[in-house]
Amino acid sequence: MKTKPFLHLYLFLIILLLTTSCSKNSPTNTIDTLEEAIDEIANKYLEVGMVIGVIDKDQGKMVFSYGTKAIGSDDAPDENTVFDIGSMTKTFTSLLVADSYLNGGFTDDTVSHYLPENVTMPTLNGTPIRIVHLATHTSGLPRNPLADGQTYPIPDGYDEENPYEVYTTEDVYDYLTNYCTLLFEPGTFWEYSNTGYGLLGHLVGLVNNSTYRDVLQDKIFDELGMNRSSVFLTDDQLTNYSLGYNTDKENVPYFVANDIFQGAGFIKSTLSDLFKYLEANMGMTETTLRSSMDLTHEPQLHQGSMGEQALAWFVQTLDDGQTIIYSGGNTIGHSSYIGFNKSTSTGVIILTNDAMHGSQLNMGSEILEAINQY
């Protein structure tokens, strides 16, 4: 039986249409380089301004800049632009604790041992708060003195946009002695605590007969050559500072804190300085802090969604199998991320001048997976 010619033509046209349709609708991977992959990831998250630093598989350093330092400006951020790094500060605090411990400091592990006699630390079921509890968010201390369930009076001059600025050391001593109610028995649960890390930084100063800020400068900034980093902004830093914006795109002030809270999240830094910190933590540069850094990377307990809790750092396995050591930070107007793979000597730093409220952690993981892929 012969097939009619018009049927052959009809079938040919159907096949041609289907092939063309599938070709148009099929996803095509047009990303051929790491640079293109990072551009795609960054543009997905960009709101105001952003700088990204990458150490690739060849241990080469790459810098990416997006957006602006201020809304309405054409001035792009660069590797020397200053950002609030927020709770990334806690990794510096834990490093100072580890360094003091390895060099003979913190000979007693109870927090009360180092405080003035008129300060009484809260306890629960007779269990005292220890240094390791502060360093791993297992102390039971609330996130801050005004957290839910706490009765501490709101200090004069309190500002929600800068919630730690007005607290003095005496305020926190008073809070701990007369008002603080622990959320749980120390060492039995995990709850993120700026109070705990602020107190930990304060203890660093006491143990060294100094202040947190001075020990930070001497032991880390000077040691690593981080000459654009500080707790308070200098006049020079203000010339290249990225204005911070909240989720409503309103400009908000940079974070300020008295000594008692500085260790919780108040360092200002730049991409160029944080490259030095990243390389030192990865073991790519020589430093007297090597053993102390390694100690802070060791997991202490399983946290949950964020992975294993080390000393301020978190340790997590990514979808592509990489084991990553990372940290992040948020203020009301800035966000940060730092993460690295020790086995491949690859890493990433993200600094933004908008409040990402944790999404920078996802962004960091995506970039680390892209580094591994390309």
As a whole number of angstroms, the distance between CA 32 and CA 35 comes to 9
Q: Helix, strand, or coil here: 28?
A: coil
Model pLDDT for residues 344-369, shown as the tens digit of each residue: 999 999 999 999 999 999 999 999 99
Distance of CA 255 to the CA centre of its chain: 15
Q: Which residue range forms the structural domain that includes residue 42?
A: 34-373
* Structural domain includes residue 348: yes
Share above pLDDT 90 across residues of the chain, in percent, rounded to a whole number: 90
Model pLDDT for residues 137-169, shown as the tens digit of each residue: 999 999 999 998 899 999 999 999 999 999 999
Average pLDDT value for residue range 176-193: 97
Average pLDDT value for residue range 303-331: 96
pLDDT value for 352: 98
* Structural domain includes residue 1: no
pLDDT value for 29: 60
For residues 283 and 29, which has the higher predicted lDDT (pLDDT)? 283
Mean residue pLDDT of the chain comes to 93
Domain tally for the chain? Answer: 1
Model pLDDT for residues 218-275, shown as the tens digit of each residue: 999 999 999 999 999 999 999 999 999 999 999 999 999 988 999 999 999 999 999 9
* Structural domain includes residue 130: yes
As a whole number of angstroms, the distance between CA 337 and CA 335 comes to 7
* Structural domain includes residue 147: yes
Per-position DSSP letters for 269-290, written without gaps between them: E-HHHHHHHHHHHTT-S--TTH
* Structural domain includes residue 15: no
* Structural domain includes residue 38: yes
pLDDT value for 252: 96
Band (pLDDT 50/70/90 cuts) for residue 190 is very high
* Structural domain includes residue 200: yes
Instruction: Characterize 133-162 residue by residue with b for buried, 16 or more Cβ atoms within 10 angstroms of its Cβ, and e for exposed.
Output: bbbbbbbbbbbbbbbeebebeeeeeeeeeb
Band (pLDDT 50/70/90 cuts) for residue 304 is confident
Average pLDDT value for residue range 296-303: 96
| Beta partners for residue 301, in sequence order | 309
Instruction: Kindly report the CATH number assigned to the domain that includes residue 208.
Output: 3.40.710.10
Band (pLDDT 50/70/90 cuts) for residue 284 is very high
Nearest residue to 199 via CA among 277, 269, 257, 125 = 257
**Distance of CA 285 to CAs 14, 49, 223, 272, 278, Å?**
64, 30, 11, 15, 9
pLDDT of 23 > 50? The answer is no
pLDDT value for 15: 44
pLDDT of 103 > 90? The answer is yes
* Structural domain includes residue 349: yes
pLDDT of 13 > 70? The answer is no
pLDDT value for 339: 98
User: Tokens at residue 183, please?
Assistant: 């959320």
As a whole number of angstroms, the distance between CA 264 and CA 87 comes to 6
